[in-house]
């Protein structure tokens, strides 16, 4: 607790002293905040729980809010050999998101920045997930989106439990996202993610109605959920919202004869907080993730992806050949169109008019890959083009930070996939050059991040 208090004080100092900076300086500031996060843990093992620093955060339930758990009608009522398919919407939080005049620890107005939440209710005690889609709602259940000034910047779900491990961070010395929710890559895996496009990850294909594919993501009784929640509020008043996830699932043990699914996370800032500076201020550029050699084997089921505004597409690659081209679409309905006539915020930030409203996915027949094995080299690229699609500008007139993420699901045998023979990194092993968590503001944060 003492270290967490010191971190909060240090980051509060960064918040009050930060000014508008150029892109490289913003990147340095963000790095200093991330180093402070790593330093907070006693004996390099983290604070023992999730972190949520800066203005806003998780708050008490709003009186009269719609139910936190809602049973709905599933598109696929039953699957042969598995039984009834349930559709359940879970409402998480609620989260208070500060208004545009309040600055986060990374000097962003109206931002609830990467809030870790370790108290997340699963949709079941034990079940097999077949589909997920995220959303954002006001307490009364109405949709919260860009047309009302709210933005689900991103959320990340972690499954924590015996036998869980993260394939692309298990061999890294540090992993900030895992640390932010009080765990490590040897104890958990990133199992779902969404940006404001809210693309459904549908693991149920037409074959499944007849029991054809026989695969799903199984949640064990011993597993628990933890989230990173990053939200934006473009209004002049604080807003309280609920993050939602709607699950399609089969309750109980993994159905007989079915395979499990294991997630693999691709990221241009792998094992970091995913956001990087824009490579250019105009025109085209490509972000490239570090290559990954598979550390388990299985059958590729499919994948989904996430970009920021200005993004065109994401390609997932095997040996430099694309096996999934996930395309962004913009402003497909009025909820994804920002209605302010000037699109300019009080701090000088300029918000794009049209925002990403969907990303295409590659599942089953849409994924041009059938297997995952150690002979391959996997990669990912994210393409941006500000001439084709407008980005969002910071108060200094530069493009805001960007992301390129993909999450893939691989069919494996029932039970846990054996962890590779690598020495797992501690949950919060800090870099040797990290600054003390409670250092003076000038030493802790030279600049502002996007």
pLDDT grade for 369, boundaries at 50, 70 and 90: confident
Q: Count of domains in the chain?
A: 1
Strand partners, 267: 405
What value does the mean pLDDT take over residues 20-24? 41
Lowest mean pLDDT: which of 27-41, 137-151, 327-341, 384-398? 27-41
436 within domain boundaries: no
Q: For residues 105 and 101, what is the distance between their CA atoms, to the nearest angstrom? A: 13
* Domain-embedded: residue 443: no
In a domain, 435, yes or no: no
Residue 224, CA distances (Å) to 102, 157, 216, 243, 313 in order: 33, 10, 17, 17, 33
Residues forming beta bridges with residue 194, ordered by sequence position: 155
Beta bridge partners, 311, equal 384
Q: Is 431 a domain residue?
A: no
328 DSSP assignment = E
In a domain, 445, yes or no: no
> Kind of pairing, strands 284-288 and 378-385?
antiparallel
pLDDT tens digits along 326-352: 999 999 999 999 977 555 566 667 889
In a domain, 438, yes or no: no
- Distance between CA atoms of residues 180 and 266, nearest Å: 18
Q: Whole domain around residue 388: which residue ranges?
A: 2-420
For residue 425, being part of any structural domain is answered with no
Asked if 242 contacts 227 with a C-beta cutoff of 8 angstroms, the reply is no
Write out pLDDT tens, residues 123-154.
999 999 999 999 999 999 999 999 999 999 99
What pTM did the predictor assign?
A: 0.84
Secondary structure of 191-252 as H, E, C letters: EEEECCCCCCEECCCHHHHHCCCCEEEEECCCCEEEEEEEEEECCCCCEEEEEEEEEEEEEC
Distance of alpha carbon 324 from the chain centroid: 20
Task: Determine, yes or no, domain membership for 283.
Answer: yes
């Amino acid at each position: 607790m003492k270290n967490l208090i010191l971190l909060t004080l240090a980051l509060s100092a960064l918040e009050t002293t930060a000014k508008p900076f150029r892109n490289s300086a913003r990147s340095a500031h963000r790095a200093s905040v991330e180093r402070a996060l790593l330093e907070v843990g006693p004996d390099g093992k983290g604070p023992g729980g999730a972190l949520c620093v800066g203005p806003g955060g998780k708050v008490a339930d709003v009186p009269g809010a719609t139910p936190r758990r809602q049973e709905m009608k599933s598109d696929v009522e039953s699957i042969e050999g598995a039984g009834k398919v349930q559709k359940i919407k879970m409402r998480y939080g609620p989260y208070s998101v500060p208004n545009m005049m309040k600055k986060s620890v990374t000097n962003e107005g109206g931002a609830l920045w990467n809030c870790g939440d370790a108290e997340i209710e699963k949709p079941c005690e034990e079940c097999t997930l077949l589909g997920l889609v995220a959303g954002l709602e006001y307490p009364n259940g109405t949709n919260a989106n860009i047309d009302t000034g709210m933005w689900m910047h991103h959320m990340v779900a972690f499954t924590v439990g015996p036998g869980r491990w993260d394939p692309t961070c298990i061999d890294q010395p540090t992993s900030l996202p895992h640390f932010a929710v009080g765990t490590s890559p040897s104890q958990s895996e990133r199992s779902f993610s969404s940006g404001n496009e809210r693309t459904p990850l549908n693991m149920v294909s037409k074959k499944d109605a007849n029991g054809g594919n026989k695969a799903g993501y199984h949640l064990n009784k011993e597993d628990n959920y933890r989230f990173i929640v990053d939200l934006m509020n473009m209004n002049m008043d604080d807003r309280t919202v609920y993050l939602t996830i709607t699950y399609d699932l089969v309750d109980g043990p993994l159905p007989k004869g079915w395979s499990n699914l294991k997630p693999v996370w691709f990221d241009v800032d792998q094992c970091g907080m995913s956001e990087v500076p824009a490579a250019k201020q105009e025109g085209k550029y490509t972000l490239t993730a570090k290559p990954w050699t598979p550390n388990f084997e299985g059958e590729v089921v499919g994948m989904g992806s996430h970009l920021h505004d200005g993004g065109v597409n994401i390609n997932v690659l095997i040996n430099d050949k694309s096996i999934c081209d996930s395309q962004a679409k913009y402003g497909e309905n009025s909820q994804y169109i920002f209605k302010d006539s000037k699109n300019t915020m009080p701090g000088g930030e300029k918000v794009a008019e049209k925002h990403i409203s969907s990303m295409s996915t590659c599942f089953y027949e849409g994924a041009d890959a059938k297997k995952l094995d150690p002979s391959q080299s996997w990669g990912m690229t994210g393409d941006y083009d500000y001439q084709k699609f407008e980005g969002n500008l910071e108060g200094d007139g530069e493009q805001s930070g960007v992301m390129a993420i993909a999450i893939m699901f691989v069919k494996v045998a029932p039970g846990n996939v054996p962890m590779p023979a690598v020495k797992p990194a501690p949950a919060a092993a800090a870099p040797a050059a990290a600054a003390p968590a409670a250092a003076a503001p000038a030493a802790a944060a030279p600049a502002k991040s996007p």
